Chains A and B, each alone.
Chain A
Amino acid sequence: MLLAFGNFTADPSVNLQLLIGGLALGAIYAVVALGFVLVYKSTDVLNLAHGEFLMLGAYFALTFLISENLNFFLGVFVLLLVMLVFGLLVHYGIMRRMVGQGFFAIVLITLGIATIIRALLLIFYGPTERARLDLLPQGSFEIGGATVRYVDLIIFAVVALCVLLFFLFFKYTRLGLHMRAVADDIEAAAAMGIDPDKVYAMTWAAAMVMAGVGGLLFGHVTGAIDRSIEAIGLRAFPAAVVGGLTSLGGSIVGGLVVGVIEQFANGHLGTKWREPVAFSVMFVVLLVRPTGLWGRKDLERV
């Protein structure tokens, strides 16, 4: 039994604390995974720049909410609006030219975008790290001997709300229907008069907005905001893959599962085991189910 070594403890309050921490971490992963899934599902692009998108969101949150000191809701609105514009920029400036190119070439382009974002952040924000955001309530309360932070509860609620909004959007709006149609069969969609170009632009905009939300939330729980937080993209990758990369619901479940497993590995085996365990979970899932737990092969619907 893997958990039998390390500083394993059966103390229920410790395990409850790890579970709560894991769910909180998982909610962050879910936000990131949602961004991966949105883009992959609709445009067939594996976007390796999503961690950088999120970092961009966190830095913009610093600018609008701390430096400019805007009212919280106004600041969030401006942040998401700016992210939306950047999403459109990514599509119309770069990705649009890549439609129809090879899968791998496009993945490399996203790596290029990631590099550019990192460089731009270095140029405009400098190398020094900033304190994490503190705009959401900072307190906590006790339950069963474990501490629950308000900020984690808020993250949870926001993630649930985002998923619900996406679900309603895809199910009940015309644009949502067209986005699902393009995801199903781009050529047939084009033949029906759906403009894939418009759908792709909306997808990138939505992914950027999600990254804005993710950056704002992650900015509250990370140690400090610097140019290393883009690593959250890679760390959330197993969550997206476990969920199946094409299922919105899957990205949530994948995020929570990986988050909890990581946190238990962290608590019982030590920090160095966190990522190896997370990626092992991903490998095992891929071996058993190559499409992930909720992959496209099941005629899954959003």
Chain B
Amino acid sequence: MSITGLDLKIQGLTVVYGGVTALNDVHITVPSGGFVSVLGANGAGKTTLVRSITSLLYLHKGRVRRGGIELGGKSILGKKGPDIVKAGVAQVPEGRKLFPNLTVKENLLCGAASRKDISGIDESLEQNLELFSQLRPLLNQTAGLLSGGEQQMVAVGRALMSQPALLICDELSLGLAPKIVHRLFELLTEINETRGTSILVIEQNASLALQHANDAYVLELGRVLMEGTAAELRGNPMVQELYLGGGGEAHTSYAAIERPGRSRPLEHGQRPPVAES
């Protein structure tokens, strides 16, 4: 039985690495059973957002300065990684991050690390293989030798092995052929609709993300720049120009338009970033 009916609420989240602010007063909600995408260019703070939810900031010397993250009304901020997975959050990390020396089957089993119901694990494995049928003949292959698309399927399957209420996919499309990315997003939609799993995708590929999601947020330099339903954002000229490859002058970021000559907005009273000694 997977846990369903848990919504994710991020409120006023501010995250710093040393003296550098990576996220600034971010509010994001993923309703139970929802499909939400967060868009943004490199350095927008997308990966920091994922790390904050999954409590992996400490591995990168980052820390949450303000704000809260709640799952189903309970704070998960500062909980240990295993407890977050137990609470119902699973992730497909950026760059897939499979265990390259382990087999496909072993990779999938690692996804069930937090589960106590040993007997249910085989059942989940079987469910996954029905969903990703092309992985079945590859079960005993070393994961590092698979193609990028196959690896991404293992990564999604691995995350699903914990039977999450919320599945977070960080840059699912990175480095993959459009056809494969398309197929992966279709599978996500299927998981969302048939299992009721909430989905949060963090994406650079805005057009695909906006096609499949219900709601979307645009992150820019650590702040939420825009939010709305996916349809609203698809119709927004700014989004079209910056993220959907619309016509006009090529701008690399919103900041480049609004604040020429400044690469990063400084918070009031914040020190400019200095190299740590």
The verdict on A191 contacting B91 (CB below 8 Å), with A100-B59, A299-B142 known, is yes
Asked if A299 and B59 make an inter-chain contact with CB atoms under 8 angstroms apart, the answer reads: no
A100-B59, A180-B99, A181-B102 given; A191·B54 CB < 8 A: yes
Chain A residue with Cβ nearest B59: A187
Contacting residues, chain A, for B174 (C-beta < 8 A) = none
Give CA–CA (A178, B93) in the complex, Å. 18
Q: Would you give the 0/1 interface string for A173-185, flagging 1 where the beta carbon is closer than 8 Å to chain B?
A: 0100110110011
Query: A201 → chain B, closest Cβ, in Å?
Result: 14
Task: List B22-57 residues whose CB lies under 8 Å from chain A.
Answer: 54, 56
26 contacts between A and B (CB under 8 A): A100-B59, A100-B61, A174-B113, A177-B110, A180-B99, A181-B102, A184-B99, A184-B102, A185-B100, A186-B59, A188-B97, A189-B99, A190-B56, A190-B81, A191-B81, A191-B97, A192-B90, A192-B110, A192-B111, A192-B159, A193-B82, A193-B85, A193-B114, A195-B81, A301-B101, A301-B142
In the complex, which residue of chain B has the Cβ closest to the Cβ of A196?
A: B81
CA A185 to CA B159, docked complex, whole Å: 15
Q: Indicate if the CB atoms of B56 and A191 lie closer than 8 Å.
A: yes
Cα separation A300 to B58 with both chains bound (whole Å) = 30
Contact B101 A188 (CB under 8 A): no
Report whether B98 and A194 are in contact in the complex, using a CB–CB cutoff of 8 Å: no
Closest residue on chain A to residue B159 by CB atoms: A192
Contacts of A192 in B (CB 8 A): 85, 90, 110-111, 113-114, 158-159, 162
Could you say which residues of chain B place their CB within 8 Å of the CB of A299? 100-101, 142, 144-145
Task: Confirm or deny: B109 has a beta carbon within 8 angstroms of a beta carbon on chain A.
Answer: yes
Contact of A193 among B61, B86, B99 (CB under 8 A): B86
- Assembled-state Cα–Cα distance A184/B106 (Å): 12
Which residues does chain B contribute within 8 Å of A186, judged by CB atoms? 59
Chain A residues within 8 Å of B80, by CB? 195
Question: Is B82 touching A181 in the complex (CB atoms < 8 A)?
Answer: no
A177 to B112 Cα, complex, angstroms: 11
- Cβ of A188 and Cβ of B98 under 8 Å apart? yes
CA distance A187 to B85 in the complex (A): 14
The residue in chain A whose Cβ has the minimal distance to the Cβ of B87 is A193
Tell me the bound Cα distance from A300 to B142 in angstroms. Answer: 10
CB atoms of A178 and B145 under 8 A apart: no
Would A188 and B93 count as touching, CB distance under 8 A? yes
Cβ B142 vs Cβ A189 within 8 A: no
Docked pose: A184 CA to B102 CA in angstroms: 8
For the complex with contacts A185-B100, A192-B110, A300-B101, 16 further pairs of A-B residues with Cβ separation under 8 Å are A177-B110, A181-B102, A181-B113, A184-B101, A184-B102, A185-B99, A187-B97, A188-B93, A189-B99, A189-B110, A190-B59, A191-B93, A192-B114, A194-B113, A195-B80, A195-B81
Among B56, B98, B101, B145, residue most surrounded by chain A Cβ atoms (within 10 Å): B101
Given A194-B113, A301-B142, are A187 and B93 also a contact pair (CB < 8 Å)?
A: yes
Give the residues in chain B near A194, CB-CB below 8 Å: 82, 110, 113
For the complex, what is the distance from the CA of A159 to the CA of B82, rounded to whole Å?
35
Whether the Cβ atoms of A193 and B142 lie closer than 8 Å is no
Interface centre among B110, B158, B159 (most CB of A within 10 A): B110
**Complex Cα gap A296–B100 (Å):** 11
Chain A residue at minimum C-beta to C-beta distance from B144: A299
Interface string of A193-205 (1 = CB under 8 A from B): 1110000000000
Cβ-closest chain A residue relative to B50? A191
Q: Mark A290-302, 1 if CB is under 8 A from B, else 0.
A: 0000001001110
- In the complex, what residues of B have CB within 8 A of residue A301's CB? 101-102, 142
| B-contact bits for A7-23, CB 8 A (1 contact / 0 none) | 00000000000000000
The complex places the Cα of A180 from the Cα of B85 at a distance, in Å, of 19
A-side contacts of B86, CB under 8 Å: 193
> Whole-angstrom distance from the CB of A149 to the nearest CB of chain B?
39
Check A195 against B61 for contact (C-beta < 8 Å): no
A299 and B111 CA atoms in complex are apart in Å by: 21
Question: Which B residue's beta carbon lies closest to that of A100?
Answer: B59
Decide yes or no: A193 and B102 within 8 Å by CB, A187-B59, A187-B93, A187-B97 being known contacts: no
* C-alpha spacing A186/B99, complex, angstroms: 9
In the complex, chain B residues whose CB is within 8 Å of the CB of A189: 99, 110, 113
Q: Roughly how many angstroms separate A180 CA and B100 CA in the complex, as a whole number?
A: 10
Chain B residues, CB < 8 A from A195: 80-82
Central interface residue in A178, A180, A181, by most chain B CB within 10 Å: A181
CB-based contact A187/B101 at 8 Å: no
* A191–B142 CA distance with the chains assembled, in angstroms: 20
Chain B residues, CB < 8 A from A188: 93, 97-99
Contact with A along B60-101 (1 / 0, CB 8 A): 010000000000000000001110111000110100011111
- In contact, A181 and B56 (Cβ under 8 angstroms): no
With a CB–CB cut-off of 8 A, which chain B residues contact A100? 58-59, 61
Inter-chain contact B162/A193, CB cutoff 8 Å? yes
Residues A181 and B54 in contact, CB atoms below 8 Å apart: no
> Contact check: which of B56, B82, B91, B109 meets A177 at CB < 8 Å?
B109
Given A187-B93, A191-B93, A192-B158, A181 and B110 contact (CB-CB distance below 8 Å): yes
A184 touches B100 (CB 8 A): yes
